[in-house]
Structure 1
Amino acid sequence: MGMAVGGNGGGGGGRRRRGGRNKAVISEINVTPLVDVMLVLLIIFMVAAPMMTVGVPIDLPETQAKALNSETQPITISVKNDGEVFLQETPIPAAEIAAKLEAISTTGYNERIFVRGDATAPYGVIADVMARIQGAGFKNIGLVTQQKKDQ
């Protein structure tokens, strides 16, 4: 009875895989799927962002006034054609306009406030809203319109 000891005789203890390939565990993070998801989200937000403007649909009157330059996002008050008043996108009673504006203004009475009135809204409601804003002490009030298209 013979027995092979040591050497390269193919014994059981020190077996190697063919070609000398060791399959070690790779501990790297694959970021390719993350980048793919981020690019898809970027495209979705780029398409959706223009649709997220002021949410109250109003048919603005057309004038020949030039566009306003606004550095910061102004507070917007909208008056629909049925006389309903909105602060940003939240409906509020006209009597609460001054108190709500004072609560949310960040620069005090110098806050920029835009009033958007529907072209068919009652003039008295728009005038009342502007009077309440001015009566509360706010100075920078703008009436928003659309520019007339040259014919």
Structure 2
Amino acid sequence: MAASSSDDDFVADINVTPFVDVMLVLLIIFMVTAPMMTEGLDVALPKVETSEILPTDDDHVILTIKADGALFFDQYETAMPDLRSVLDTRVKATGRQLFVRADKDVPYGMVMQVMDNIRGAGIADVGLITTSAPDEAQTSRADSAAKSTYPNARSTGLGG
């Protein structure tokens, strides 16, 4: 008598354990790198004695001017001749708030050229991002500012 053996049967189950392991490793990597991505470009901001802490949200665009004169919208580099069209499409058309981060070593003329392009694009409300100078009288404000992403964003009306 021939008995049927179960050794010849194939198991068609999918083993999900390696897949779950890989997904958990990727999740940990993204959780570790996500806070580093929010810091943005490395710019030495000017220090000011008085500053106003404004609440910020995700509905804003940051224009960064690096020490070498390079312009960045959030993380994307742009050139000065293209600045006005980028301002029209990324700020004015979307109604988002514009913040300017300029390195303290950027020449005044370069900042004024950027501000002229901002005014020419019809944007009247601009936030200037700075850092506070250490002061004993402002320790309570410095503690609360440390919790904000852009602790010393100063809003300036350009008018026009």
**Same fold by TM-score, threshold 0.5 exceeded?**
yes
State which of 60, 72, 78 in structure 2 corresponds to 1:92.
78
Which of the two has higher C-alpha Rg? 1
Matches within 5 A, 1:135-146: 135-146=120-131
TM-score by length of structure 2 reads 0.67
Counterpart residue number, 1:125: 110
Q: Is 2:103 the partner of 1:115?
A: no
* Structure 1 Cα separation of the partners of residues 121 and 88 of structure 2: 8
How many residues were matched structurally?
134
* Structure 1 Cα separation of the partners of residues 56 and 120 of structure 2: 23
Tell me if the contact between 1:109 and 1:137 (Cα under 8 Å) persists in the aligned partners: no
Q: Is 2:11 the partner of 1:15?
A: no
Tell me if the contact between 2:59 and 2:96 (Cα under 8 Å) persists in the aligned partners: no
Structure 1's 73 and 43: CA in aligned 2 closer, same or farther, altered over 3 A? farther
Counterpart residue number, 2:88: 102
* Structure 2 Cα separation of the partners of residues 65 and 34 of structure 1: 51
Counterpart residue number, 2:15: 30
Tell me if the contact between 1:111 and 1:138 (Cα under 8 Å) persists in the aligned partners: no
Q: CA RMSD in A?
A: 2.6
| More strand as a share of residues | 2
TM-score by length of structure 1 reads 0.70
| Aligned-residue identity in percent | 37
